[in-house]
Amino acid sequence: MDLRTVAITGAAGQIGSVVRRALRPEAERLIALDRVPLEAEAPNETARQVELRDPGAVVAALAGTGSDAVLHLGGIADEAPLAELLAANVLGTQHVLEAARRLGIPRVVLASTNRVTGFHPTRHLTGPADPTRPDGLYAVSKVAVEALGRMYAEKFGLSVIALRIGSFEESPTEPRHLATWLSPRDAVGFVRAALTAPPSPGFRVVYAVSANTRRFWELPAPTTLAYTPVDDAETYASLIPGADIPFSPTTPQSGPYAAPEFTLPHVQP
């Protein structure tokens, strides 16, 4: 399946900007969506401002675009009060999925996070079949995002792929990244593969992580997603202080994100 007309929510974000730039020469047409103002940057691109928490606005933004797929990157990408996460991440995702259903857009690729399984210990190679163990409120919202994707796939016949995104950085900068890094090149590779996978109704979960020697997560089987990452954080190990200290086998894979102090400031008294 070729890249035809692809809509990207959160197109102004960190990952959205990289993916948008990389896919622009390949797609027949890109629809760049964000809550902040955007401008089209190529003849084959359309930019629209949209508030994902408004279901009517999401339908209006996608209507008439002829989109074949939606890459849903919009939302809050870190710990926050649960009410804000529910509004931006959970309701926002439901609005995107519902718009896809109404408009007949067959493929939706959801941005999930590795932190939905953050309490699994580092000694465990974690895969999609393992139970979710969210490390905080943000991760809880992404568990709900995945559940919505599964429901829309199984109830309404959409093809939904959830990418559990690793530590997206230009290069790894801390010891945990030696396991969790997702390079820009591999991020684009996973997204491209998810958008162009053969049309097939159903729900799939994939860990989007580079081919790190010390990774905690399973790479996808070719039958699940036809992309094999190429970058390895180990290349940068000599530049990272503490890289020579092995991970404690019982430490949560999320590291500091699993600590109570990370979430407590966002819990209402």
Look at residue 222 and give its three-state secondary structure: coil
Is pLDDT of 257 > 80?
yes
pLDDT tens-place string over residues 96-126? 999 999 999 999 999 999 999 999 999 999 9
| Side chain identity, residue 60 | A
For the chain, list the domains and their CATH numbers. Answer: 5-266 (3.40.50.720)
Torsion of CA 152, 156, 161, 163, to 10 degrees: -10
Is pLDDT of 268 > 90?
no
Active site residue 138: yes
What are the helix (H) ranges across the chain?
Answer: 14-23, 55-62, 82-85, 92-103, 137-156, 177-180, 184-196, 260-263
Handedness of CA 201, 206, 210, 211 (dihedral sign): negative
- The Cα 15–Cα 74 span in angstroms is 10
User: Which entry of 138, 207, 227, 257 is annotated as an active-site residue?
Assistant: 138
pTM of structure: 0.97
Is pLDDT of 9 > 80?
yes
- Please give the structure tokens belonging to residue 13: 């974000």
**Average pLDDT value over all residues in the chain:** 97
Residues 201-230, mean pLDDT to the nearest whole number = 96
Return the pLDDT at 1: 67
